[in-house]
Amino acid sequence: MSKQPSIGEVSIISKLFLKFCPQAAFPPFLAALLTILAIDTEAGAAEPASLPTRIETLDQRRFDDCELVRAEPDALLIRHSKGIARLSFTILNSSLQEAFNYNPDEAYKSAYANYEKEQQLRKWKFREEETVRAMRKMEVLSETIKSTWIPVEATVIRSTNRGIYVAPLEIACNAPSGRILRPFGAGLLFLPENSLDLRPGSLWMGYICPRPDDTVLDLNGEMFTVPFHQAITVGCQNTGGK
């Protein structure tokens, strides 16, 4: 892959063409282009502002063995004898401000843009930390639930936009030799699992809180007789009818 010429190289080549080749030999547009390149690239290749090896700020701090890492609109990022520092132009003397073309308006815009980025990063970090804490809390809660709630296998009787009516069986034993199922509760239960979209006859498996929170209307919508239990879904088989 060929190397691209530097700004200085472009300027030198343009000057040589203009010096040793008569401009009459060039088409007018090419002569004009070479002239522009010779002038503009020379200006663009100007040496960057130099940084003193010792900097004393207006707030009485001193930095030795300074090297410029990057000049920003509102600050200088430097490497010094004790590490790296970002020095705002507002605490630097006027000679340094002039050397690096400090513009208060541009500095304010840059500082505000950096502030917005930092705020966004903080929000993302906070959300990430909140997610991690929530996941850890759920892991602890899950272990607590598994040790205190009842493992259940249930047949879905009806699905509503609030949850499902089920006929549950407690999994009393789940050994390799076989499972032991026994009735759980008085019969029909209501579970607030409204995101599963299970059809009647489907199989629901999970953990049910042994104590009901409340009661809901029965299947006929007449009396509040069906116990309402909190539950966590472990699995389901949507194999029922319509």
Residue 171 lies in a domain: yes
Mean pLDDT of the chain: 79
Residue 111 binned pLDDT confidence (cut-offs 50, 70, 90): confident
109 lies in a domain? Answer: no
In a domain, 134, yes or no: no
pLDDT at residue 34 greater than cutoff 90? no
Whether residues 228 and 184 share a domain: the answer is yes
Please check the confidence at residue 133 and state whether its pLDDT lies above 90: no
Looking at the fold, whether 14 and 80 belong to one and the same domain comes out as no
**230 and 153 housed in the same domain:** yes
Please state the domain count of the chain.
Answer: 3
User: Is there a contact between 68 and 76 (Cβ–Cβ < 8 Å)?
Assistant: yes
Q: Which domain holds residue 175?
A: 149-237
Rounded Cα gap, residues 152 and 135, in angstroms: 24
Directed axis angle between helix 28-44 and helix 7-20, to 10°?
140
Half-sphere exposure of 110 (CA within 13 A, CB side): 14
**Nearest-angstrom CA–CA distance, 96 and 89:** 8
Asked if 39 and 67 sit in the same domain, the reply is no
Asked if 16 and 63 sit in the same domain, the reply is no
pLDDT at 35: 55
pLDDT > 80? residue 90: yes
**Residue 215 belongs to a domain:** yes
Residues 35 and 73 in one domain: no
The average pLDDT across 103-125 equals: 88
Output the pLDDT for position 145: 76
Q: Are strands 67-71 and 75-80 parallel, antiparallel or unpaired?
A: antiparallel
pTM of the model: 0.42
- Residues 53, 65: contact at Cβ < 8 Å? yes
Which residue, of 102, 118, 139, is where some domain finishes? 102
- 227 or 40: which carries more pLDDT confidence? 227
Q: What is the pLDDT of residue 242?
A: 58
- Whether residue 139 lies inside any domain: the answer is no
Q: What whole-number percentage of the chain has pLDDT above 90?
A: 32
| φ and ψ of 84, to 5 deg | -125, 145
Residue 51, Cα to own-chain centre: how many angstroms?
37
CA distances 218 to 91, 158, 188, Å, are 75, 11, 9
Q: How confident is the model at residue 157 (pLDDT cuts 50, 70, 90)?
A: very high
Q: How many CB atoms lie within 10 A of CB 7?
A: 15
Q: Tell me, yes or no, whether 155 lies in a domain.
A: yes
Q: Is residue 107 part of a domain?
A: no
The answer, yes or no, to whether residue 63 has pLDDT greater than 60, is: yes
Helix then strand then coil, in percent of the chain rounded to 5, is 35, 30, 35
SS3 226: strand
Q: Distance between CA 18 and CA 7 in Å, rounded?
A: 17
Does residue 207 register a pLDDT over 50?
yes
Q: Is the pLDDT of residue 45 over 50?
A: no
Q: Higher model confidence: residue 59 or residue 186?
A: 59
Structure tokens that stand for 15 in this block: 């000057």
Give the model's pLDDT for residue 57. 93
Q: Are residues 36 and 63 in the same domain?
A: no
For residues 174 and 204, membership in a common domain is answered with yes
